[in-house]
């Protein structure tokens, strides 16, 4: 069985909901928020290529405004996407022992929206649409940082597209250890669960 941050989050929210999505493979109805988020990600992934598409939620205008104003470490996002060495939609995998693995056959996997270097610092970024969070939970990007755990300087960044705000954190060795422990404990609980009760938080 392969896991992702979305899967772990679904289980921690409601084991029964996790079972429906990840064991029974039922596809949920796509909400307007999910559609908008998916379109924004697609535009940023392909920028500066222009996508000829009608957007119901003005995703193109939202993204254009974000690109014109977003500054990361004194560098514009436009420059990062067009002139800096970067990777988009980076797929990674990890074994149960947290060794790097391929995406398809891994124990734990994820897709990173954007990776780029600022001097000798590796930046891992995730685009967020919807409400800005003052008290940021960095768990998702901390799991992504495990693929680069042998790198000395890592910063993780949540980029709130509709608010042009950024929440950032420098990753420590303690973060790495706690995140590995979180994944092992949560996946062990899931693998041992036989009932997947409807206990929603």
Q: Tell me if 198 is assigned to some domain.
A: no
- For residue 200, is it within any domain? no
Does residue 45 lie in a domain region? yes
pLDDT in 10s for each residue of the chain, 201 residues: 899 999 999 999 999 999 999 999 998 888 999 999 999 999 999 999 987 888 999 999 999 999 999 999 899 999 999 998 899 999 999 999 999 999 999 999 999 999 999 999 999 999 999 899 989 999 999 999 999 999 999 999 999 999 999 999 999 999 999 999 999 999 999 999 999 999 887
What gap in Å lies between CA 99 and CA 137, rounded to an integer?
24
- Report the C-alpha gap between 176 and 185 in whole angstroms: 14
Domain of residue 132, residue span: 5-192
Structure-token pair, residue 151:
């790198």
Residue 153, number of CB atoms within 10 A of its CB = 14
109: helix, coil or strand?
Answer: strand
Residue 50 lies inside a defined structural domain of this protein: yes
Helices (H), the chain: 5-13, 15-18, 32-46, 59-69, 77-82, 139-145, 173-192
Q: How far apart are CA 124 and CA 144, in angstroms?
A: 8
DSSP type of residue 146:
G
Please report, for the domain that includes residue 169, its CATH number: 3.90.320.10
The answer to whether position 96 is within a domain reads yes
For residue 201, tell me if it sits in a domain.
Answer: no
Does a structural domain hold residue 58?
yes
The helix (run of H) or strand (run of E) holding residue 170 is: strand 165-170
Residue 94 lies in a domain: yes
**Structure confidence at residue 201 (pLDDT):** 74
Number of domains comprising the chain: 1
């Amino acid at each position: 069985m392969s896991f992702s941050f979305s899967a772990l989050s679904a289980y921690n929210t409601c084991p029964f909901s996790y079972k429906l999505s990840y064991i029974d493979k039922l596809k949920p109805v796509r909400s307007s928020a999910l559609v908008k988020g998916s379109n924004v990600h697609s535009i940023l992934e392909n920028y500066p290529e222009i996508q000829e598409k009608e957007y119901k939620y003005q995703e193109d205008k939202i993204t254009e405004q974000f690109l014109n104003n977003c500054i990361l470490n004194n560098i514009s996002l436009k420059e990062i996407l067009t002139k800096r060495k970067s990777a988009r939609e980076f797929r990674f995998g990890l074994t149960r022992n947290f060794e790097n693995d391929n995406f398809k056959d891994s124990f734990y996997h994820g897709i990173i929206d954007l990776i780029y270097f600022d001097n000798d610092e590796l930046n891992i970024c995730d685009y967020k649409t919807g409400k800005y969070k003052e008290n940021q939970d960095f768990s998702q990007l901390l799991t992504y940082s495990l693929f680069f755990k042998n790198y000395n300087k890592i910063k993780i960044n949540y980029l709130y597209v509709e608010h042009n705000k950024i929440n950032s954190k420098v990753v420590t060795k303690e973060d790495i250890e706690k995140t590995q422990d979180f994944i092992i404990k949560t996946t062990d609980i899931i693998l041992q669960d036989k009932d997947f009760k409807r206990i929603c938080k």
